[in-house]
């Protein structure tokens, strides 16, 4: 009988797991790609010494073919790693790199190759038309420029810009206001660290309005936790300091991702109506309504908000309780965090079920995302897992996997560009180049200035602290003395 619930679900049993709905179909497409298509692509890529870097959110059929290729210069990841791999492929002797993703990703790859001395290695997109991103476009508007000008007039402003923006946006923003890039998985820590390390800082978050509103809700909800719980999230904060964060955080109000817009509220409404008997979990870094929902359930020991290990400990405890109850009732958990966590959950849950063999219990893990969102898993047994990766871009609310722009990348489109490349007809490929920028900002290229906010984020991810140069920039740049608007 078909389940009345609509989220993709993984059912974990003692000796196996079962996938439900479109996730199961996606898994089949990923794990059993068309062998002829794999062989043909492999041969053509090798013949042309062509590297391919693809974003996680390609559809499972395309990802399955790419993952099965034996040609070693094929890679699937988030956009930061995609750019790194493009450079590695050039170093390894690839003559061209094809980027499967949206346009700011191919721009990033182009910029990183230029920076690394590989300006002669061409980069190609797989569509002659723009492969846009409504969020990236929002940050290119005059409204965003005006909002940044307001930030520049304010003392000690730090602009935290979402990764899903063009290099040009990052460069022009950084010229106006000290800027650091963020992803959905590090935005909370970036903001909390900024408030801990820069006295009297004012943070301007953009362009994702939906995420900005969720962040405001998230920081307000933090005030309901006790000091110890807040310190577990960030050791420099307590109830008093998170109150100050809420008061000094501004977010842009006119930037929408078409997918989040459709799925954000819808997903949580569905979780409320379809998952009334389920346990609700949310990672502390998951902003928004999902966090609030888990917080409500936590009050009745029906949910948890916390770190990855808190969620794991909660699920394990509830599975043990279900086994001990001996009534054969199987627990179901809604997993409000990135999909990659499911591999460790499956391991722990199976260990409990095996220790109590014959209990008749299975455990359901539901993923609160659009039903066709799937992410490649490093676990060969799982292949793909439901849900959006939390690494960048989109949140547990939806996922770029459902994005119409992402879907412009297809196996056919990749094959077409590869054939044109092999035919060595540069004219036929002109429209497939990423956008480039001739303009200079204070004598530096857009790529140079636009890369800095990304490098600041990489420093933060490596060390857990903001770079000293960025902190000095925020403190040292006096209001109204910043570079003129570009």
Looking at the Cβ atoms of 257 and 474, the one nearer to ligand SF4 is: 257
CB of 162 to ligand SF4, least distance (A): 8
CB of 76 to ligand SF4, least distance (A): 16
Question: Can you give the binding site for ligand SF4, defined by CB under 6 A?
Answer: 102, 133-135, 164, 257-259, 393-394, 400, 403, 405-406
Whole-angstrom distance, CA of residue 416 vs CA of residue 124: 12
Looking at the Cβ atoms of 396 and 471, the one nearer to ligand SF4 is: 396
Q: Which residues make beta-bridge pairs with 179?
A: 159
Backbone torsion region of residue 464, taken as left when φ is above 0, otherwise alpha when ψ lies between -120 and 50, otherwise beta:
left
Helices (H), 59-208: 60-68, 79-91, 103-115, 134-138, 142-153, 167-176, 187-197
Q: Residue 380 carries which DSSP code?
A: T
Looking at the Cβ atoms of 79 and 278, the one nearer to ligand SF4 is: 79
Integer angstrom CA distances of residue 125 from 136, 201, 284, 446:
17, 39, 36, 20
Looking at the Cβ atoms of 38 and 182, the one nearer to ligand SF4 is: 182
CB of 265 to ligand SF4, least distance (A): 15
Looking at the Cβ atoms of 79 and 193, the one nearer to ligand SF4 is: 79
Query: Smallest Cα–Cα separation from 372: which of 404, 344, 347, 348?
Result: 404
If one counts every other C-beta atom within 10 angstroms of the C-beta of residue 300, the result is 7
CB of 164 to ligand SF4, least distance (A): 5
Looking at the Cβ atoms of 166 and 445, the one nearer to ligand SF4 is: 166
Q: How far apart are the first and last CA of the chain?
A: 60
Burial of 21-40, coded b for 16+ CB within 10 Å and e otherwise, reads bbbeebbbbbeebeeebbee
Q: Which residues make beta-bridge pairs with 97?
A: 51, 123
Whole-angstrom distance, CA of residue 406 vs CA of residue 469: 35
CB of 403 to ligand SF4, least distance (A): 3
CB of 32 to ligand SF4, least distance (A): 27
CB of 283 to ligand SF4, least distance (A): 20
Looking at the Cβ atoms of 192 and 257, the one nearer to ligand SF4 is: 257
Whole-angstrom distance, CA of residue 361 vs CA of residue 352: 10
Looking at the Cβ atoms of 245 and 406, the one nearer to ligand SF4 is: 406
Structure tokens at 234: 């960030």
Task: State the residue for tokens 């940044």.
Answer: 148
CB of 424 to ligand SF4, least distance (A): 32
């Amino acid at each position: 009988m078909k389940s009345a619930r609509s989220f993709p679900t993984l059912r974990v049993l003692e000796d196996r797991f079962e996938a439900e709905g479109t996730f199961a179909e996606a898994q089949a497409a990923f794990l059993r790609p068309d062998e002829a298509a794999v062989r043909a692509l492999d041969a053509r890529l090798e013949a042309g010494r062509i590297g391919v870097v693809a974003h996680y959110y390609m559809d499972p059929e395309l990802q399955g073919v790419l993952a099965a290729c034996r040609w070693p210069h094929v890679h699937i990841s988030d956009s930061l790693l995609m750019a790194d791999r493009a450079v590695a492929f050039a170093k390894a002797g690839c003559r061209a790199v094809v980027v499967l993703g949206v346009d700011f990703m191919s721009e990033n790859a182009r910029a990183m190759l230029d920076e690394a001395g590989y300006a002669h290695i061409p980069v190609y997109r797989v569509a002659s038309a723009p492969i846009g991103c409504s969020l990236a476009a929002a940050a290119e508007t005059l409204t965003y420029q005006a909002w940044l000008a307001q930030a520049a007039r304010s003392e000690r402003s730090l602009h935290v810009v979402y990764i899903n923006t063009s290099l040009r946006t990052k460069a022009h923003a950084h010229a106006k206001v000290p800027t650091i890039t963020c992803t959905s998985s590090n935005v909370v820590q970036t903001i909390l660290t900024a408030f801990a390390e820069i006295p009297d800082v004012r943070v301007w978050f953009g362009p994702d309005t939906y995420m900005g509103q969720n962040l405001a809700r998230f920081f307000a909800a933090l005030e309901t936790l006790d000091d110890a719980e807040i310190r577990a999230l960030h050791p420099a904060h307590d109830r008093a300091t998170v109150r100050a964060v809420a008061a000094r955080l501004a977010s842009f109000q006119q930037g929408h991702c078409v997918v989040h817009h459709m799925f954000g509220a819808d997903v949580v409404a569905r979780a409320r109506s379809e998952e009334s008997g389920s346990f609700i979990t949310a990672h502390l870094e998951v902003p928004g309504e999902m966090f609030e929902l888990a917080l409500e359930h936590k009050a009745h020991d029906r949910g948890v908000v916390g770190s990855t290990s808190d969620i794991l400990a909660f699920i394990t405890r509830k599975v043990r309780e279900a086994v001990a109850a001996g009534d054969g009732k199987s627990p179901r958990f809604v997993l409000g965090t990135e999909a990659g966590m499911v591999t460790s959950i499956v391991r722990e849950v199976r260990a409990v079920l095996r220790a109590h063999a014959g209990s008749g219990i299975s455990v359901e893990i539901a993923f609160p995302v659009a039903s066709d969102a799937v992410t490649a898993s490093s676990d060969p047994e799982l292949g793909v897992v439901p849900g959006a990766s939390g690494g960048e871009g989109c949140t547990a609310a939806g996922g770029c996997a459902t994005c119409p722009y992402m879907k412009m990348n297809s196996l056919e489109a990749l094959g077409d560009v590869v054939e044109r490349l092999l035919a060595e007809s540069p004219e036929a490929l002109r429209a497939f180049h990423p956008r480039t920028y001739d303009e200079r900002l204070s004598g530096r290229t857009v790529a140079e200035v636009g890369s800095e906010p990304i490098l600041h984020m990489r420093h933060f991810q490596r060390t857990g602290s903001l770079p000293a140069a960025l902190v000095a920039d925020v403190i040292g740049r006096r209001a109204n003395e910043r570079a003129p608007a570009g």
